[in-house]
Structure 1
Amino acid sequence: MYGISGLRKTLQTISNWNKASRIMRKYMNTDVNPCENFYEYACGNWKNYYDVPPDKAVYDTFEMVRENLYIVLKELLESDYSEKPQDDDISDYHDLKDFLNENYEVYDPSDATDKAKKFYRSCMKEGTINKRGEKPLGKLLEDLGGWPLITSSWKKSDFDFMWLLSRLRLLNNDILISQWIGPDIKNSNKYIIHIDQTTLGLPNRDYFLDSRNVKFIKAYKSFILSIANLLGSQTSTTLEDIEDLVQFETRLASITYSAEERGNITEVYLRTTVETLANHFPNFAWESYFTAVLGKEIDLTYPVACYCARYLHQLLNLLNKTNPRVIQNYLLWRFVRHRTQNLDYRFMESVQKFYHALFGREKQPPRWQFCVLQTNTNMGMALGSLFIRHYFDKNSKSDTTKITENLIQAFLDMLQEKEWLDRQTKDFAQIKINNMDLKIGFPNFLLNATELNLKYRDVKIEENFFFENVLSILRHSSLDEQKKIGLYVNKSMWNTPPAVVNAYYSRNKNQILFPAGILQPPFYHKHFPKALNYGGIGVVIGHEITHGFDDKGRLFDHKGNLQLWWKNSAIEKFYEKSKCMIDQYGKYVLPGLKIPVDGFITQGENIADNGGLKQAYKAYEKWLGDNPNADESLPGLNMTGPQLFFLNFAQVWCGKQRTEITQSRLKTSVHSPGMFRVIGALSNSEDFSSIFSCPLNSPMNPQHKCVLW
């Protein structure tokens, strides 16, 4: 039996190696010198096999992995569940007003995974959704005091700013101010209230303030008008109302902090109390607002972390000068904006038209894909429980844990080599990395049906009421927040669904998290050569570790508290070395566009890319030394293990994106484009230049390199 099992494993390994080799060779453009442009060498043929699909703005390796994951999740959601499917009777409407009640309470201890399947099914019932049309949202808008944009019956005397703002927050909407309950960044063991500036209806403030973006403002206004018309706009002032609304949001954008102004969190963080906040900003009824959104009378001495003092002063002045009709229109527009995707095909078509103008997406994604995403977004832990029970390989967790341990050791070794760091700062850095909390795969409670059902006990899902199902989830989220008040932080918990293709570092918890969804090719496969695993998931792990020591992560200590633990001399050297990267990436311009990468807002991710690559290679090099007889070749590829390491790293970033989304990301994203994530990190790598014998001062081996970690 052992021999047969061993033979099967060998055959499976060969099959996976052949497949990996075939894919890697397909993407490569071997006519390009790897020392001239390694991205083009590794990914040059990718564009010959793939176009950006009409329903996407971006198509890359990450998106392909997500597509494979979504197919698996679809199968799980469409599998049988214990309840009998319902017919399409929609006569028994919910009382939507219940969702606005401060004392909203539901108890349904039924199976959480069944709820996820039912949620998905409610999303897929397009016939029922179309039959209900705009009615659910229209009724809810009436209950929220009426949207002046669509009704002539609204009166100024009906305006109740604080009531409306708090009700929208109960439905998990952050409008005008962002507010949440989270660990205090100076005492990460305790939950406190946090408040920050708003998000906007367009990707960032520049969309409103830069005159070159007039086409996006025009598309935004058209979008608002189309939604108002679908909701039965009956006013003669709709166009005027929309103009006033957008002008208000433009003024709002002008008082928000820019990314550069928010670069140093210590400069915007202000710890205060509810009472002091009320004294500083008396025109805002903080006590009644917090009492409403937190579900109980708030202690005036309860701490509040404020990240937007200047913004709040200017916001209150702006509100004082603005017609209540405009404020009501704006608040409800921002709420409506997020609910349009829970309604019928007409609303979805309006969203698509707007997305085409904004991001270049030509058509909506397939309904099943949209509904899988909605289910994972709203009930990610329940869906994740299904995923890990059916598809997650426990060996992946132990293998990834071992790789992570090797990367941590590589970082510690690199740390000792840093002559620009003093001994005290090195010692504190070592303490921090030794205290990093590693989470791989999924939280254990997902395997306990009782605990999982308990998590979703305040969620009511009905098959014919997709709109209300989303509202139930939104109230579930706000109730979860309310429960944190007065509690100590349980740092062993994680809130990220496992079926996602991403990884995270939490500064406030000093925690690195690798969900089960990312542990698949090309990032990881248990039968891959280690070169591919270290060049894939290994670099991702190293990237997240390095976030603990990037421009923001370095401000937090080993317990996740904002604390100055660096010597002044080390801080000066850090600024000098990070400025090198800011300048380096700021010179990159994508072919065909005249917009450079923003080296400042991308610096944290660039630091993490460079550090992660270096750590992962050092860890792989150490593994090779410990396993001198390992076969690290792939059939059909005349490359060594170290060369395959760098090739797989680069091919993770193969992809294409539409011009519109590229322009948007260059203005808003903290990540550099994939091409420069490859070129930037590799051109700073002595290991890469050595492995590929790149001549000094060739494009991929400049004499002057930016090296931080």
Structure 2
Amino acid sequence: MYFTKMKNKYYSQNARIIQYLKFFYLLIISQNTSEEKLTAHRSFQSGFLSNHTIDDYYNSSLDATTKTKYFFHSCMDQTKIRERGSAPLLQLLEELGGWPILGNDWKESEFDIVWLMAQLRLFNNDILVSEWVGPDLKNSEEYIIHIDQTTLGLPSREYFTNPHNYKYIEAYRTFIVTVATLLGASKDTVYEDTDDLIKFETRIAEIMTSHEDRKHLERIYLRTTIGALAHYFPQLDWIRYFSMVLGKTMTLEDPIACFCTAYLHRLVDLLSNTDPRIVANYLLWRFIRHRTNNLDERFLLAKQRFYYILFGKEKPPTRWQFCIQQTNANMGMALGKLFVEKYFDEQSKKDTLEMTIQLQEAFQEILSENTWIDPSTKDYALMKLKNIDLKIGYPDFITNVTELNRRYIDVEIHPDYFFENTLSILKHLTRYEQRKVGKEANRTLWGTSPAIVNAYYSRNKNQIMFPAGILQPPFYHKHFPKALNFGGIGVVIGHEITHGFDDKGRLFDQNGNLDYWWKEPSVLEFHTRAQCMIDQYGAYMLPEVNARVNGYLTQGENIADNGGLKQSFRAYQRWLKNHPDADETLPGINLTGRQLFFLNFAQIWCGIQRPESAKTRLQTAVHSPGIFRVLGTLSNSLYFAEEYNCPAESPMNPAFKCILW
């Protein structure tokens, strides 16, 4: 999916934020014994036992932070989760028509694929087809429906299509069988059903368009209507599907952005030739797989065994860490309020803003020096640069109790029912998206919670976002020498600025619209320089797994790394010129400020990864491994070679360097 789902670039630093999140553990475990809680508890419990829903009994009058604490409590109460076992999931599966793999009473005549797909989407699941509401690529002021090809139960389509990944398929099969057996499936039939399910998912993987074939975004984007979709793919009732998903009656004229016409052609043919029982098993499995997080230790152990094969994770996080992660993922804005109140220094916001202005000036300087770009394209690039929208720290609404409470007004949370609490939030996310349909796009919205170690650039908004969580060591500290801050958060700022001008970002104008504003000679020169980086990084071999980096898959991030380093170093040099008396040294380290700049850049990518995780990332991640983010970028830097006196034509100072921005 484009523009709405963003990968975590700074995952290696998230361990740092765990130290801060311990605060939440201590804060949230303090019990609230108010009469409001006790009354809600009794009514909710009696309602659940008599087969009523949360909405029948539990009101939404609690404030958002109290709901956050209740959510955390429900996750931490393993005794209650253990007592309830698989009952909450089994009850929900029954309401969804039953999971065929669990018994022989499933009736094919009652299977309604459109209804089931829609119900699962209402729980924020994308299965068979990914669907979301967001700004149109060619009119970023308008929210419209988007659809794309699906995600899979393994990290990428290659896990299903490459015979060398057989062990991952076997681990996946064991995971499905174990979960199904825990839910009551018969051992006489569970293996056959699971084999059929995996064969079907393998067929889905085979009909998906490869990453390489999707590289030209402007070619796969198609603005059409629901009516046209219904005309070309009549096997699915699209009007009914979108009406259920979006909570309103849709019409044939409603616009839709489609990125997967070739996939849809093959999908409807596959569905027409697949036993409905297999399709139903697959749809519900993809939903069940994520709900194992909300069940007892038996299901978490099954997932852990699967993740050990897939990622090399030897043990799961401690329960409190798991519950903090779940709380941040589900109640991120409310939890973010607590985080910024305790840990966010407004000085960091001011410093980041000042550094961003300095980085933009450095990029403007680099842009003016580049001789390979024609004057017209330069003018448009400068206009886009000056029009970048900056978001730092957190959205203002989280400090306003009324506004924050309104954000979660439809979320029903009870301190004892972790499973239902998660479902309530999933339905809330869907309703939040439903309200956007047909409205003008809101550029002030934040796409992430504050307590996240990450930074983002949105092509469709021409917007940069720096959550509060990343404005901490080793990226930034107000008492650091400027060398460390420019080598840390400064490079991150430059990285995000450069994303506006990488292989995909350059396709969008200053307003976030897909627009062809480059002159052809400059496009050809861009591709030549980008190919240099594709070849450079594609030659790197990760020795732990004896596999090469995918230079094409990682090109956008490699372009951003190289551009960000150059911009930030130039900005730092200018700062030094304006502060000649600044002490830019560190005690006990015999390095200049300029050398410390590059040292901290390398420091932020220090990390250890397991071989299994490294192998997975090489196949799926858009970022190069940390070691090559350092070596590749620094070996292209004339400034680094000069400051560290690297011999000419040495590995870190090759005669030919790949330089784009």
Return the TM-score normalized by structure 2.
0.96
Matched AA of 1:615: Q
Contact 1:435–1:558 (Cα < 8 Å) also in 2: yes
Q: Which moved more, 1:157-166 or 1:443-452?
A: 157-166
Q: Tell me, in whole angstroms, the C-alpha distance in 1 between the residues paired with 2:417 and 2:143.
A: 35
The number of equivalent residue pairs is 649
Q: Which moved more, 1:527-536 or 1:589-598?
A: 589-598
Contact 1:548–1:554 (Cα < 8 Å) also in 2: yes
Q: Shift of the alpha carbon at 1:386?
A: 1.0
1:594 equivalent in alignment to 2:546? yes
Q: Partner of 1:178: helix, strand, or coil?
A: strand
Corresponding residue of 1:458:
410
Q: Shift of the alpha carbon at 1:74?
A: 2.3
Corresponding residue of 1:667:
619
1:93 equivalent in alignment to 2:93? no
Q: Shift of the alpha carbon at 1:77?
A: 2.7
Deviation string 1:390-444 (CA, Å, 9 cap, x unpaired) is 2211111001110111001100111001000011101000000100000000010
Q: Which moved more, 1:105-114 or 1:326-335?
A: 105-114
Q: Partner of 1:188: helix, strand, or coil?
A: strand
- After superposition, the CA RMSD in angstroms is 1.8
Matched AA of 2:154: L
Matched AA of 1:310: A
1:567 equivalent in alignment to 2:522? no
Matched AA of 2:451: A
What pairs with 1:276-675 in structure 2 (closer than 5 Å)? 276-675=228-627
Corresponding residue of 2:90:
138
Contact 1:105–1:458 (Cα < 8 Å) also in 2: no
Q: Shift of the alpha carbon at 1:363?
A: 1.0
1:173 equivalent in alignment to 2:125? yes
Alpha-carbon spacing, 1:559–1:127, altered in 2? closer, same or farther (3 Å)? same
What pairs with 1:5-84 in structure 2 (closer than 5 Å)? 61-79=12-30, 81=32, 83=34
Matched AA of 1:438: L
Contact 1:97–1:140 (Cα < 8 Å) also in 2: no
Matched AA of 1:72: F
Alpha-carbon spacing, 1:692–1:568, altered in 2? closer, same or farther (3 Å)? same
Q: Which structure ranks higher in relative contact order (CA pairs < 8 Å, sequence separation ≥ 6)?
A: 1
Alpha-carbon spacing, 1:569–1:450, altered in 2? closer, same or farther (3 Å)? same
Q: Partner of 1:261: helix, strand, or coil?
A: helix
Alpha-carbon spacing, 1:281–1:60, altered in 2? closer, same or farther (3 Å)? closer
Matched AA of 1:643: Q
Matched AA of 1:531: A
Q: Partner of 1:471: helix, strand, or coil?
A: helix
Deviation string 1:659-696 (CA, Å, 9 cap, x unpaired) is 10001001110000000000000000000001111111
Q: Tell me, in whole angstroms, the C-alpha distance in 1 between the residues paired with 2:351 and 2:183.
A: 54
Contact 1:60–1:654 (Cα < 8 Å) also in 2: no
Q: Tell me, in whole angstroms, the C-alpha distance in 1 between the residues paired with 2:651 and 2:616.
A: 28
Deviation string 1:63-91 (CA, Å, 9 cap, x unpaired) is 33232232233234335657466589955
Contact 2:171–2:306 (Cα < 8 Å) also in 1: yes
Match of 1:255 among 207, 224, 227: 207
Deviation string 1:475-521 (CA, Å, 9 cap, x unpaired) is 00000011001110110221310000000000000000000000100
Corresponding residue of 1:185:
137
Q: Partner of 1:608: helix, strand, or coil?
A: helix
Contact 2:11–2:454 (Cα < 8 Å) also in 1: no
Contact 1:148–1:154 (Cα < 8 Å) also in 2: yes
Match of 1:207 among 122, 140, 159: 159
What pairs with 1:695-706 in structure 2 (closer than 5 Å)? 695-706=647-658
Q: Tell me, in whole angstroms, the C-alpha distance in 1 between the residues paired with 2:389 and 2:31.
A: 37
Q: Tell me, in whole angstroms, the C-alpha distance in 2 between the residues paired with 1:460 and 1:183.
A: 29
Deviation string 1:96-121 (CA, Å, 9 cap, x unpaired) is 7869x9xx998614210110011001
Q: Tell me, in whole angstroms, the C-alpha distance in 1 between the residues paired with 2:367 and 2:83.
A: 63
Matched AA of 1:522: P
What pairs with 1:96-107 in structure 2 (closer than 5 Å)? none
Q: Tell me, in whole angstroms, the C-alpha distance in 1 between the residues paired with 2:30 and 2:261.
A: 51
Matched AA of 1:63: N
Deviation string 1:257-307 (CA, Å, 9 cap, x unpaired) is 111111111111011011111111111100000010010101321110000
Matched AA of 1:331: L
Q: Tell me, in whole angstroms, the C-alpha distance in 1 between the residues paired with 2:154 and 2:129.
A: 16
Q: Tell me, in whole angstroms, the C-alpha distance in 2 between the residues paired with 1:211 and 1:116.
A: 45
Q: Tell me, in whole angstroms, the C-alpha distance in 1 between the residues paired with 2:423 and 2:253.
A: 32
Q: Shift of the alpha carbon at 1:158?
A: 2.1
Q: Tell me, in whole angstroms, the C-alpha distance in 2 between the residues paired with 1:608 and 1:224.
A: 39
1:128 equivalent in alignment to 2:80? yes
Q: Tell me, in whole angstroms, the C-alpha distance in 2 between the residues paired with 1:646 and 1:285.
A: 57
Q: Partner of 1:203: helix, strand, or coil?
A: coil
Q: Tell me, in whole angstroms, the C-alpha distance in 2 between the residues paired with 1:433 and 1:329.
A: 49
Q: Partner of 1:582: helix, strand, or coil?
A: helix
Matched AA of 1:529: P
Q: Shift of the alpha carbon at 1:617?
A: 0.4
Alpha-carbon spacing, 1:95–1:186, altered in 2? closer, same or farther (3 Å)? farther
Deviation string 1:620-649 (CA, Å, 9 cap, x unpaired) is 000000000000000000000000000000
Corresponding residue of 1:20:
none
Corresponding residue of 1:37:
none
Q: Partner of 2:48: helix, strand, or coil?
A: coil
1:246 equivalent in alignment to 2:201? no
Q: Tell me, in whole angstroms, the C-alpha distance in 2 between the residues paired with 1:655 and 1:494.
A: 29
Matched AA of 2:22: I
Deviation string 1:358-384 (CA, Å, 9 cap, x unpaired) is 111111110000000000000000000
Alpha-carbon spacing, 1:94–1:458, altered in 2? closer, same or farther (3 Å)? farther
Corresponding residue of 1:51:
none
Q: Tell me, in whole angstroms, the C-alpha distance in 2 between the residues paired with 1:592 and 1:287.
A: 50
Q: Tell me, in whole angstroms, the C-alpha distance in 2 between the residues paired with 1:441 and 1:80.
A: 29
Q: Tell me, in whole angstroms, the C-alpha distance in 1 between the residues paired with 2:26 and 2:493.
A: 29
Contact 1:697–1:703 (Cα < 8 Å) also in 2: yes
Q: Tell me, in whole angstroms, the C-alpha distance in 2 between the residues paired with 1:427 and 1:708.
A: 17
Return the TM-score normalized by structure 1.
0.89
Contact 2:47–2:57 (Cα < 8 Å) also in 1: no
Match of 1:236 among 188, 193, 198: 188
Q: Tell me, in whole angstroms, the C-alpha distance in 2 between the residues paired with 1:609 and 1:329.
A: 43
Contact 1:69–1:517 (Cα < 8 Å) also in 2: no
Gaps of 5+ in 1: 1-57
Alpha-carbon spacing, 1:314–1:72, altered in 2? closer, same or farther (3 Å)? same
